[in-house]
Amino acid sequence: MMNKPAGLYIHVPFCKSKCPYCHFYSTTETGRASRFIDALDREMREYRHRFTAFDTIYIGGGTPSLLTIADLDRILAAVHRHFTIAGDAETTVEVNPADANGAWFSDLHGLGVNRIHLGGQSFSAPALQFLGRRHTPQNIYEAATLIRGGRFDNYGLDLIWGLPGQNLDDWRRDLAAALSLEPAHLSVYQLSVEPGTPLWRRLRRSEFSLPGEEPSLEFFLATDDLLDRAGFLHYEVSNYARRPEFASRHNGKYWRHAPYLGLGPSAHSFQDGRRWWNYRNINAYLAALAEDRLPVAGSETLGQKELRLETLFLGLRTADGIDMSSFRRRFGEDLRETRKDILSGLISEALLIIEDDRLKPTVRGMATADRLAVLL
């Protein structure tokens, strides 16, 4: 049993259609929502003695905004019935702009949800069409207005860069449009083409190309510069917050190796060095819970070597970096001694700095954070 507050992630697997770039599990069988929520309740019951308290709840997907307020009320009521939830818990729901509804947002706020994450992706109609999104640029503007009208001060917006044919001026226009909506948080991701997705098959047929290393660095640095001048804090490779309190507390658990429980098809969990994941199929997920079995498809236990690498990999993605004293206590290693020459080189290349006993990436270091972790 653990008493330290963890993070709770709930994967709602329903989508009206599948975006060609998306590699997350989803199904268009939206009529199964009620059975899914019944199964979620049973899954929570199975974990109530292994995870007792949460201070973040994140309902993602899929498309959680396809659920009715009654559906979400059932889910959140079950969460509070089975677990202890902190009074100041951060509770996030992902929303597709096409589903925006003023009454829905107002009712959602009444359920205790205090953070919205809006999947805008782009303010360009051709780009949205390429991405297979079912919303329009106008839907994003309308959704942002409704979110603020629903009394949500803390709302974030997703954007994607590195789209075929996109140049820096196009991207700056997207960022300017996003800033005009006054979000508290921005998540900006480079387009990632995952194996097996329809977009991956198009890329293999050379129907489009992705930017190379140098153009990607230009996009990354331009994003940091523009958002820094707008007053945003670049606190993780892909994430910016208008103020420190608007940084995602839930995602911070992933970056700090804090415990988290994932519920729903394909959801991942982590606790005490062990990671496990659910079936990536709603039929298998429902069948397991109907038989009072956890729907776990697989697991792995991380040794010290794997935990060390992940600590570096995740920590160097964040502006706070790595607490070197904590690293030394946990792994019995002083990086300033064991990686002295490598650290010296990376610091001279202006990719890393050491400040207040923390190893931190510079902005350029963030752009190559994955490589830094492997070198160390």
Instruction: For 114-154, write each residue's pLDDT tens digit.
Output: 999 999 999 999 999 999 999 999 999 999 999 988 889 99
- Six-digit token string for 18: 């599948």
pLDDT classification of 201: cutoffs 50, 70, 90: very high
Q: Could you give the strand order of the β-sheet that contains 268-271, starting from the edge strand earlier in sequence?
A: 233-236, 239-241, 185-190, 155-161, 115-121, 84-95, 53-61, 6-12, 260-263, 268-271, 274-278, 296-301
Give, as one character, the DSSP assignment of residue 206: T
SS3 state at 27? strand
DSSP for 44-72, written as a single string: HHHHTTTB-EEEEEEEEES-GGGS-HHHH
3-state class of 89 per DSSP?
A: strand
Instruction: Note the pTM of the prediction, 2 decimals.
Output: 0.96
Structural domains in the chain?
Answer: 6-255 (3.20.20.70), 304-375 (1.10.10.920)
- The model's confidence at residue 2, banded by pLDDT at 50, 70 and 90, is very low
pLDDT confidence band for 255 (50 / 70 / 90) = very high
pLDDT in tens, 323-371: 999 999 999 999 999 999 999 999 999 999 999 999 999 999 999 998 9
**Considering the chain, what percentage of its residues have pLDDT values greater than 90?**
96
Per-residue pLDDT at 258 exceeds 50 = yes
Distance CA 358, CA 215 (A): 30
Side chain identity, residue 346: L
- The whole-number pLDDT of residue 210 equals 94
- The pLDDT of 168-190, averaged and rounded, is 97
The number of beta carbons lying within 10 Å of the beta carbon of residue 166 is 21
CB atoms within 10 A of CB 70: 10
**What is the rounded average pLDDT of the residues 67-87?**
97
CB of 369 closer than 8 Å to CB of 312: no
What is the mean predicted confidence (pLDDT) over 35-56? Answer: 97
Q: Is residue 290 pLDDT above 60, yes or no?
A: yes
Q: How many CB atoms lie within 10 A of CB 245?
A: 10
